[in-house]
Amino acid sequence: MSDNGCGFPAPGLHSFLFKPIVTVGGFEFNKVMLLALITTLLVVTFFTLAFGKAKVVPGKLQMVGEAGYDFVRRGIVYETLGKREGEKYVPLMVSLFFFIWIMNIWSVIPLAQFPVSSIIAFPMVLAGIVYIVWVSLTFKKHGFVGFFKNVTGYDKSLGPVLPLVMVIEFFSNLLVRPFTHAVRLFANMFAGHLMLVMFTVASWYLLNSWMIPAAGISFVMTVVMILFELFVQAVQAYVFVLLACSYIQGALAENH
C-alpha cells in the first residue's frame, strides 16, 4: 500500500498470518487452529450421528454418510488396493478425505474464509501419518532386507545402472515422497486462496474508484474463482488419499 493509504492492498504472506485468539504460557491458539479443531469435531460428530445407531433402512443422515463412505471406499481404496487388502484401511482413508476436504472448504465459508491446508504444517502432519503407515507396513511385510529392496527399486535386470537407480529411488521414496505429498496439497490451497483474496479485494478497491466497470469484471472473476476452488478443494482431498493408497499398495506389493 502506498504512503497515502490509497494504493491497492495487494494480498501476500500477511494474508496467511493471524493474531492469537488466546495465549496460554508460550502456546498461541489462533484462527487456523480453531478451524482445524472445528473440522475435527465436525467429522467426528457427523459420522457418529450417521453411524452411531445405524439402521437397516437408513435415515437421511445415514444415507449421506454411507454415500460419502462408499465413495472413498469403492472409488479410491478398492480401486487401488482391492477389496481384500483395502478394507482395513478404509476408516483411515475416509477420515483423511473428509478432514482434508472440510479444511479446504473453509476457504469459501463466510467469516472463516481461509483454507487450513494452506498452512503447510497441517499437510505435513497428514503426510507424516501416511509416511509412518507406509514405512511400518513395508517393514512388517518384507522385513529389513525386503524394505531396502522396496524403497530402492532393487532389480537385478537393470544391470550396470542399478546402483544409480537405487540411490535415486532411495532418496525419492524416503525423503522426497512425504515432502511432495504435503506440498501438492499445500501449494494448491495456498495459490487458490491468494487468487481468491486478490480478486475479492480488487472488486472492493475498484468499486470505490472511477473504474466501476472493472470492479464488475473482478467480481465475476471472484465468483468464478469460488466455483473453481470448490472443485479444486475436492480434487485435492481425492488426490491426497489416492496417493496414500498407492503408497500402501507399494508397501504390500511383493518384491521381485
* pLDDT mean over 82-96: 93
Whether the predicted pLDDT of 214 surpasses 80? no
Domain assignment present for 182: yes
* pLDDT mean over 123-146: 92
Which pLDDT score, from 0 to 100, does residue 253 have?
Answer: 79
Cα separation values, 72 from 6, 48, 49, 113, 206, Å = 49, 17, 19, 26, 43
The answer to whether the CB of 230 falls within 8 A of the CB of 224 is no
Distance CA 234, CA 244 (A): 16
The model carries a pTM of 0.88
Which pLDDT score, from 0 to 100, does residue 67 have?
Answer: 93
pLDDT tens readout for residues 217-226:
878 888 888 9
Domain assignment present for 27: no
Domain assignment present for 131: yes
Whether the predicted pLDDT of 4 surpasses 60? no
Whether the predicted pLDDT of 5 surpasses 60? no
Domain assignment present for 164: yes
Distance CA 98, CA 69 (A): 9
Distance CA 225, CA 10 (A): 17
Whether the predicted pLDDT of 24 surpasses 90? no
Domain assignment present for 11: no
Which pLDDT score, from 0 to 100, does residue 3 have?
Answer: 43
Distance CA 25, CA 45 (A): 30
* pLDDT mean over 126-144: 92
Range of lowest pLDDT (2-6, 101-105, 158-162, 244-248): 2-6
Report the sign of the C-alpha dihedral through residues 74, 77, 82, 84, in that order: negative
pLDDT grade for 1, boundaries at 50, 70 and 90: very low
- Which domain range does residue 185 map to? 61-254
Number of domains in the chain: 1
Domain assignment present for 205: yes
Domain assignment present for 56: no
Domain assignment present for 200: yes
Whether the predicted pLDDT of 10 surpasses 70? no
Select from 220, 251, 224, 250 the least CA-distant residue to 108. 224
